[in-house]
Amino acid sequence: MQHIHDNACEGILPSIDWTTLAHDLDQFGAARLPGLLDVDACRSLAALYADDHLFRSRVVMARHGFGQGEYKYFAYPLPAVVQALRTAFYAPLADMANRWNQAMDIAVRYPHTHAHYLQRCHAAGQRRPTPLLLHYDEGDYNCLHQDLYGEHVFPLQMTILLSQPGKDFEGGEFVLTEQRPRMQSRAHVVPLQQGDAVIFAVHDRPMQGARGVHRVTMRHGVSRIRAGRRYSVGIIFHDAK
């Protein structure tokens, strides 16, 4: 991956509208970041799927009832662009996560650097990297789920669409559900273009109601790919047991 350098993500963070991002996360539990990666970066990342040396494991989703399609978890060291995004996004998202925990009366607070947070995960036996590359063909889908890998859970995560809808594939929408206390669930579709990211709640998030704050349970997945091939990369901030 010669043309993705360590500084691949420098300059991205200042251009992000954090106010809108925080607003969308508070309102919907998800926020879209348009154009996080350019087409070349998307293609380079998707091309890594063929290189088994870069991964610690491969999951065939149908074998576990997770859906249909497959994914691979990167091994450490992560590809430079994945490592850069995971480190750079952690700090601003930790501020948001701390605010959410305060709102939900959860005592856990997240340290200001990802290195410190990983120390916490590793000390608890969560040492395996969780960033992953996903691969779907026609008819594949990803059932609604939560990416929990142990006691330590960083409550926000990011997915970047690496293929172009309408050209590389049809269908395959990124979907989220919100399970509200004593109410019916609400679904969201996040329309993504190639290179767009979505940041979203891993499991619980606070929702401001008429009579105080509720805890809302989120799940995410991908609707059926109607044609073509869809790649995405997932960046999860906690490590796995």
By the criterion CB under 6 A, which residues form the site for ligand AKG? 134, 142, 147, 159, 174, 220, 222, 232, 234
Which residue number, 147 or 178, has a Cβ lying nearer to Fe ion?
Answer: 147
Q: Are 6 and 84 in contact (CB under 8 A)?
A: yes
Which candidate, 50, 58, 93, places its Cα nearest to that of 75?
Answer: 58
**Among ligand AKG, Fe ion, none, residue 197 binds (CB under 5-8 Å by kind):** none
Which residue number, 143 or 213, has a Cβ lying nearer to ligand AKG?
Answer: 143
**Among Fe ion, ligand AKG, none, residue 83 binds (CB under 5-8 Å by kind):** none
Distance CA 96, CA 114 (A): 14
Residue 213 CB, nearest approach to ligand AKG (Å): 26
**Among Fe ion, ligand AKG, none, residue 232 binds (CB under 5-8 Å by kind):** ligand AKG
Distance CA 72, CA 78 (A): 12
**Among Fe ion, ligand AKG, none, residue 159 binds (CB under 5-8 Å by kind):** ligand AKG
Residue 17 CB, nearest approach to Fe ion (Å): 25
Q: Are 65 and 55 in contact (CB under 8 A)?
A: no
Residue 29 CB, nearest approach to ligand AKG (Å): 14
Residue 30 CB, nearest approach to Fe ion (Å): 13
To which H or E segment does residue 159 belong?
A: strand 156-161
Which residue number, 203 or 229, has a Cβ lying nearer to Fe ion?
Answer: 203
Residue least distant from ligand AKG (Cβ): 234
Contacts 24+ apart (CB under 8 A), 45-51: 45/4, 45/79, 45/81, 45/82, 45/133, 45/160, 45/162, 45/231, 45/233, 46/133, 46/162, 46/163, 46/231, 48/1, 48/79, 48/133, 49/133, 49/135, 49/231
Which residue number, 114 or 219, has a Cβ lying nearer to ligand AKG?
Answer: 219
Residue 188 CB, nearest approach to ligand AKG (Å): 13
Which residue number, 126 or 142, has a Cβ lying nearer to ligand AKG?
Answer: 142
Distance CA 49, CA 195 (A): 17
The residues binding Fe ion (CB under 5 A) are 147
Is residue 181 classed as helix, strand or coil in its secondary structure? coil
Residue 113 CB, nearest approach to Fe ion (Å): 24
Is residue 160 classed as helix, strand or coil in its secondary structure? strand
Which residue number, 117 or 136, has a Cβ lying nearer to ligand AKG?
Answer: 136
Q: Is the peptide bond before 77 cis (omega within 30 degrees of 0)?
A: yes
